Chains A and B, each alone.
Chain A
Amino acid sequence: QQPVQSPQAVILREGEDAVINCSSSKALYSVHWYRQKHGEAPVFLMILLKGGEQKGHEKISASFNEKKQQSSLYLTASQLSYSGTYFCGTAGGTSYGKLTFGQGTILTVHP
């Protein structure tokens, strides 16, 4: 079952913060975050494996609440290069490699 992302789109000015949420109705074993720019391949950002785990990558971090089956991606002090579509991919059970992607969140950062 496809995870649900919110918001569907967000527009920011450089330096502003954003949060993208991903929730699932099924138990999750891992959440994978990707960013895809127009006409390009999805680029892996990070993977969350444990409940309550928080990971960081430069000014992009994420959390995973296993009990609530939710993950959030935090983008702080956004840069123009952050623009793109963000997808969460979820895996459950023993099919570690089978990711189901959310519908995506379009992030646009303006100067």
Chain B
Amino acid sequence: DTEVTQTPKHLVMGMTNKKSLKCEQHMGHRAMYWYKQKAKKPPELMFVYSYEKLSINESVPSRFSPECPNSSLLNLHLHALQPEDSALYLCASSQPGTRQETQYFGPGTRLLVL
């Protein structure tokens, strides 16, 4: 099973709202990722968790707050977003530590900030 699930599929929020994106995997992977993808652009790495610890933060604004409650779950908390944050947010997972580390992506959450 190479499935990564994400909820919700679509999200519309105002600039003063607080919302959360959720990601889950049951492949036993110990690395999980958040990417942001704008239309016609490649995915851009935001955060990496390795063994439930934040290992990479690609200078993401603090209005995005990641959380990894356990090895299967990854959340992205959103607060006071801007319209330019509208994008597809992708979660991925992998088994860390080898050169054969393959990332498997979830279907994404399409976010619209009004």
Contacts and interface: CB of A to CB of B under 8 A. Distances in A.
B76 to A, nearest CB: 16
Q: Is the interface of B mostly helix, strand, loop or mixed?
A: loop
Contacts of B94: 97
Given A96-B96, A97-B50, A97-B96, A44 B41 contact: no
Given A41-B90, A42-B105, A97-B33, A30 B99 contact: yes
B89 to A, nearest CB: 11
A26 to B, nearest CB: 16
Given A44-B104, A97-B31, A49 B43 contact: no
Contacts of B106: 41
A103 B102 contact: no
Interface residues of B, number: 27
B90 A42 contact: yes
A95 B104 CA distance: 17
Interface in B2-17: 4
Contacts, number: 61
Interface string A61-91: 0000000000000000000000000010101
Given A30-B99, A97-B96, A97-B101, A42 B48 contact: no
Interface string A94-106: 0111111111100
Given A40-B107, A42-B105, A103-B41, A47 B48 contact: no
A44 B103 contact: yes
A33 to B, nearest CB: 11
9 contacts: A30-B100, A42-B43, A47-B100, A89-B103, A97-B96, A98-B48, A100-B45, A103-B42, A104-B42
